[in-house]
Amino acid sequence: MPATHDVFNQPEPLADVNLFAGNRPLQAALTFNAPGLDTAPLLALGATVGSADMRRHARLANVHTPQLKTHSRFGHRIDQVEFHPSYHALMAQAVGAGLHGTAFSAQQQVTGHAHQLRAAGFMLFTELEPSILCPISMSYAVTPALRDNTAIYQDWAPGLTSRQYDPELKVWREKTGLTMGMGMTEKQGGSDVRANTTRAVADGTDAWGQRFSVTGHKWFFSAPMCDAFLILAQTASGLSCLFLPRVLPDGSPNQLFIQRLKDKLGNKANASSEVEFVDATAWLVGEEGRGVPQILAMGTMTRLDCALGTSGLMRQALSLALNHTTQRMAFGKRLIEQPLMKNVLADLALESEAATALALRLARSFDRAGDAHEQVMTRLLTPVAKFWICKRGSHFAQEAMECLGGNGYVEEGGEGVMARIYREMPLNSIWEGAGNIMALDLLRALRKADAAAALAQELAPARGMHRALDHLAERLPARVEEMATEMEARRLAQDVALAVQAALLAQTAPAAVFSAFCDSRLGGEWGHSFGSLGAGVDFDAILERAMPHPSTSAR
């Protein structure tokens, strides 16, 4: 067809960039929380996940979605999920970077920063492809819970910490790497797991301890090709945590049957399934009848990942918006030079940096698990960060998408990364405890006698730096001590999140970022949508800080 027009004013995509080198908020958060951390692995990972080659894998894994194969050609039940080669390429990269269980290896633990290194890597990888991080996250999170069955943990730890990705469904001892998932949610309830109906009948004892025969179902069972799962089932003593491998120690398949794969809004590259167990074999982990606290040792770490993952997605959406608006012209100027667009972008940049700071701060507490203050921070900030960061995600993604105009809304065979981010965002808020459940969990956390004092200690370094923060920080410990009612739980979670974010920005961010964050989020100089920062904000300084290319300018 003859050309009718020149194509112009369409920005170059953000490709082949080092996602770590260009992320100053993440670097600052690491310098603050993990001084002395060797960031060379992050620089290498930043180049890999920012490469056009890996982006192609991310697109293909989302376009060619997983397929369930219940039976073989000859009618045998196989219960396997088939993935596109790009899914495996992404998994191999994530495992190779040690984003699953490697942080728990003795070699990583001696660094003192293993969880933060892994947290930063997880955030960077999210900018490449978030859905494969579901099995990666669960394989990371499982260790604190699984360790309570020493025999199983000894057998499985080498595979869970290995940097080899091995997708074959075969007995654990023949594999170079292992992955794990979790099964709690049933049809009748996911938040109230005590209503689980799956039954487990005692079936003797062997080298892995007390064995059970499990019958029932799970309604959401993500990454069913994992090698094993922690599940909840009712034994004679009540709800208990069980280890259920897909392949039994003698090499035979366990009695786990995949009914179908979920047709999801986003998270397309990852398979989420519905499964049934028919006399499946499983082993007890932890104390019988204490399944909920046992599996929540895993849930706590996946909640950390929800906060990290959403922060990574925010950063990616912001980078795409900045990349677009620095190139696209409208009404005689680059979009980023238009005052109102500056306001939108700067507001998003504040939100993104605050999310990064809070998520990394939470990750620090896992590196210092022996410290009493950090233990309270883990308990307090896990529901707070999961609630607030994930709650902000969808609104953030919509606004960042709008910066790209109509092109932001277009999928174009998976090229439309903004659309993928938008579809992914609500997920971190729902799974592993939806918003209300997180806010209610904060109330439980506050029952710890030292929560108010620990919060005051956390906010103390920022005292005197901003009037609105001082005002909030003075009132917050008393509100914490009084213990809010359920009706007030979301408001309290929000205020704790904002206060901690502001105190962190006081210590890690330029003055322009800190003061604009406090003025808007704490001081009331803000509307109900992004892009409503007040006068006196140093927009250019905030935008310079956020640029994905250090060489690009907002001016």
Ligand X SMILES: Cc1cc2nc3c(=O)[nH]c(=O)nc-3n(C[C@H](O)[C@H](O)[C@H](O)COP(=O)(O)OP(=O)(O)OC[C@H]3O[C@@H](n4cnc5c(N)ncnc54)[C@H](O)[C@@H]3O)c2cc1C
Binding positions for ligand X, rule: CB under 6 A: 181-185, 189-191, 220-222, 264, 267, 272, 427, 430-437
User: Among 63, 65, 68, 433, which Cα is nearest to 274's?
Assistant: 68
CA separation for the pair 360, 25 (Å, rounded): 11
Q: Which helix (H) or strand (E) holds 81?
A: strand 77-82
**Between 288 and 432, whose beta carbon lies closer to ligand X?**
432
SS3 (DSSP) at 200: strand
What residues contact 149, with CB distance under 8 A and at least 6 apart?
208, 209, 243, 283, 284, 285, 286
CA separation for the pair 529, 514 (Å, rounded): 19
Phi–psi pair at 230, nearest 5 degrees: -95, 130
CB of 186 to ligand X, least distance (A): 8
Q: Which residue's Cβ lies closest to ligand X?
A: 190
CB of 425 to ligand X, least distance (A): 12
- For the record, the structure tokens of 361 come out as 């701060």
Beta bridge partners of 261: 273
CB of 197 to ligand X, least distance (A): 13
**Between 364 and 423, whose beta carbon lies closer to ligand X?**
423
CA separation for the pair 91, 82 (Å, rounded): 14
Q: What DSSP state is assigned to residue 349? A: H
**Between 431 and 530, whose beta carbon lies closer to ligand X?**
431
**Between 13 and 189, whose beta carbon lies closer to ligand X?**
189
CB of 97 to ligand X, least distance (A): 22
**Between 261 and 419, whose beta carbon lies closer to ligand X?**
261
CB of 291 to ligand X, least distance (A): 12
**Between 22 and 433, whose beta carbon lies closer to ligand X?**
433
State the Cα angle at 47 between 44 and 51, rounded to 5°: 145
CB of 264 to ligand X, least distance (A): 5
**Between 306 and 359, whose beta carbon lies closer to ligand X?**
306
**Between 47 and 430, whose beta carbon lies closer to ligand X?**
430
CA separation for the pair 395, 407 (Å, rounded): 18
CB of 210 to ligand X, least distance (A): 22
- For the record, the structure tokens of 454 come out as 């620990």
CB of 460 to ligand X, least distance (A): 33
Pairing of strands 272-284, 228-235: unpaired
Q: Which helix (H) or strand (E) holds 502?
A: helix 489-508
**Between 344 and 390, whose beta carbon lies closer to ligand X?**
390
**241 with 291: CB under 8 angstroms?**
yes
CB of 542 to ligand X, least distance (A): 33
**Between 116 and 126, whose beta carbon lies closer to ligand X?**
126
Distances (CA, A) of 460 to 82, 123, 454: 52, 28, 10
State the Cα angle at 180 between 146 and 175, rounded to 5°: 105
In total, the chain counts a number of residues equal to 555
- First-last CA distance in the chain: 40
CB of 295 to ligand X, least distance (A): 9
**Between 231 and 462, whose beta carbon lies closer to ligand X?**
231
CA separation for the pair 346, 329 (Å, rounded): 18
DSSP per residue over 145-156, as a string? HHTTSHHHHHHH
CB of 429 to ligand X, least distance (A): 9
Q: Could you give the count of Cα atoms lying within 13 Å of 403 in the half-sphere of its Cβ?
A: 35
